[in-house]
């Protein structure tokens, strides 16, 4: 009697576990990722080149920085939507730099396969007015093949979306950048889903560059937030650096949306000559920042500061009376 009970309980457990596993797999499939149990396998692909069961179905472009590639589950997606945003208009230069760097990487990847890789940059006219037009010599010095760079300025978001969709159906571009200002209602979750599906079908990487935009639910694989970061100093041939100079462009990258369990942030430096990112040593960066403290530092005030119901600073009240 007992035995049979045990068996049925076991069987139920097994059935439940099977159900849970299959549900997990379904979720993982929906999320285009890999099931949690199979995660390590994506980082160590089969040397024979066979795609393992349960491994990522995604084609990825590794950035060459192990912690970041780990958080991105192998690297940047080679097809589908990736969102890059910056919080303030004045940070648009940094974010544009990061997007351009990604475009350079995609272009390089495409060229290594023997295709020409034109990059299409679709920009809402308003975005270009607020944060400046792309500048061809600047793009060139950033490492982009400027002869294979097409630029479209669209008057409205709707026009920009139409051009993007048309471009996604053409298997020519190495990368398509869609630059939008803010969070327009005409580019909400359903539209981003549509773009994502089309980009995956067209096997094109689509970079949605949201200038001065808020965090918003989207179907992108990843959403990065770019903040400016102080650049390093110019290296000299003898190994030291030129004091007070402004070296390679640097970014503070926050991975806001990803399949990883925790958010991730990293300081990166773009080397246009090598056409790749390098991580910046954070300690050096911190040292740079403390060096550059303003003469009269002012604490940033939180939104609730000064109000009666604002949070009390820690340590103002003692929780317990002193023992002695």
Partner 1 sequence: MARSRWGASWLSRGRPDHPPVVFVAKIDNAMRLVALDALAERIGLKRGQGAAEARAMCPSLDVIAADPPADQAFLEALADWCDRYTPLVALDGKDGLFLDITGCAHLHGGEKGLVSDMLSRLFALGVEARATVSSSAGLSWAAVRYGHVDVIAPEEADRVLAPLPVAALRLPEETAAALERVGLKEIGDLLEAPRAPIARRFGSLLLLRLDQARGQADEPLSPRLPVPSFSAERRLAEPLIDEEHVLELTRHLAKDVRSSLERQGEGGRLFELLLFRVDGRVFRVKAHAAVALNDAERIAALFRERLQAIHDDLDAGYGFEILRLAVLRSERRDPAQKDFSGVPDESQPLAAFVDKVSARFGPDCLMQAAFAESHLPERAGGFVPLRNIAAVMDAPAQGKVFPEGGAFPESGVFPESGVFPESGVFPENRPLRIFAHPEPVEATAEVPEGAPRSFNWRKTRYRVTRAEGPERIAAEWWVVGEDHPTRDYFRVEDQEGRRFWLFREGLYEREVTSARWYMHGVFA
Interaction with partner 1 in 87-126: which residues (CB under 8 A)? 90-94, 96-98, 100-101, 111, 115-116, 118
The H-or-E segment that residue 291 falls in is helix 282-291
Mapped onto helix, strand or coil, the DSSP state of residue 70 is helix
Task: Please state the closest distance from residue 126 (CB atom) to partner 1, in A.
Answer: 13
Beta pairing, strands 80-85 & 205-211:
parallel
By CB under 8 A, tell whether 77 contacts partner 1.
Answer: no
Nearer Cβ to partner 1, position 283 or 322?
283
| Surface-to-core class of residue 66, CB atoms within 10 Å of its CB (0-12 exposed, 13-18 middle, 19+ buried) | exposed
Interaction with partner 1 in 261-290: which residues (CB under 8 A)? 270
Interaction with partner 1 in 121-150: which residues (CB under 8 A)? 129, 131-142, 145-150
| Total chain residues near partner 1 (CB under 8 A) | 60
Cα(89)–Cα(97) distance, rounded to whole angstroms? 14
Beta pairing, strands 80-85 & 119-124:
unpaired
Stretch that binds partner 1, among 14-22, 24-32, 71-79, 161-169 (CB under 8 A): 161-169
CA 300 to chain centre: 27
Binder among 38, 39, 87, 163 for partner 1 (CB under 8 A)? 163
Interaction with partner 1 in 213-232: which residues (CB under 8 A)? 227-231
Binder among 170, 188, 201, 286 for partner 1 (CB under 8 A)? 170
Cα(74)–Cα(235) distance, rounded to whole angstroms? 31
Binder among 33, 74, 184, 249 for partner 1 (CB under 8 A)? 249
Interaction with partner 1 in 3-62: which residues (CB under 8 A)? none
For 4-61, the three-class secondary structure string (H helix, E strand, C coil) is: HHHHHHHHHHHHHHHHHHHHHHHHHHHCCCCCHHHHHHHHCCCCCCCCCCCCCCCCEE
DSSP 241: B
Nearer Cβ to partner 1, position 90 or 284?
90
Q: Are 294 and 303 in contact (CB under 8 A)?
A: no
Q: Count other Cβ atoms within 10 Å, centred on residue 49.
A: 6
Stretch that binds partner 1, among 47-55, 58-66, 249-257, 306-314 (CB under 8 A): 249-257
Task: Please state the closest distance from residue 297 (CB atom) to partner 1, in A.
Answer: 10
Enumerate binding residues for partner 1 (CB under 8 A).
90-94, 96-98, 100-101, 111, 115-116, 118, 129, 131-142, 145-154, 159, 162-163, 166-167, 170-172, 227-231, 244-246, 249-252, 270, 292, 294
């Amino acid at each position: 009697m007992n035995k049979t009970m045990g068996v049925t309980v076991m069987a139920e457990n097994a059935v439940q576990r099977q159900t849970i596993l299959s549900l997990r797999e379904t979720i993982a499939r929906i999320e285009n990722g890999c099931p949690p149990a199979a995660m390590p396998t994506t980082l160590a692909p089969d040397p024979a080149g066979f795609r393992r069961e349960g491994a990522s179905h995604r084609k990825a472009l590794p950035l060459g920085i192990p912690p970041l590639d780990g958080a991105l589950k192998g690297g940047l997606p080679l097809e589908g939507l990736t969102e890059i945003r910056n919080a303030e208009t004045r940070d648009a230069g940094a974010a544009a730099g990061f997007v351009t760097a990604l475009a350079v990487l995609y272009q390089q990847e495409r060229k290594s396969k023997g295709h020409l890789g034109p990059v299409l940059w679709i920009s809402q006219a308003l975005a270009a007015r607020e944060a400046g037009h792309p500048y061809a010599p600047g793009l060139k010095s950033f490492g982009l093949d400027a002869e294979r760079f097409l630029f479209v300025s669209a008057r409205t978001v709707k026009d920009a979306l139409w051009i993007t969709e048309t471009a996604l159906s053409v298997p020519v571009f190495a990368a398509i950048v869609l630059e939008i200002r803010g969070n327009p209602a005409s580019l909400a979750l359903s539209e981003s889903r549509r773009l994502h599906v089309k980009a995956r079908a067209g096997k094109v990487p689509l970079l949605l560059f949201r200038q001065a935009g808020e965090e918003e639910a989207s179907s992108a694989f990843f959403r990065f937030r770019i903040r400016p970061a102080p650049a390093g100093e110019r290296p000299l041939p003898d190994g030291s650096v030129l004091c007070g100079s402004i070296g390679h462009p640097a970014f503070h990258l926050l991975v806001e949306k990803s399949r990883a369990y925790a958010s991730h942030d990293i300081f990166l430096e773009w080397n246009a000559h090598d056409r790749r990112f390098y991580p910046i040593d954070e300690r050096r960066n911190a040292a740079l920042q403390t060096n550059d403290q303003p003469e009269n530092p002012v604490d940033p005030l939180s939104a609730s500061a000064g109000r009666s119901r604002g949070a009390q600073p820690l340590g103002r009240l003692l929780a317990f009376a002193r023992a002695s």
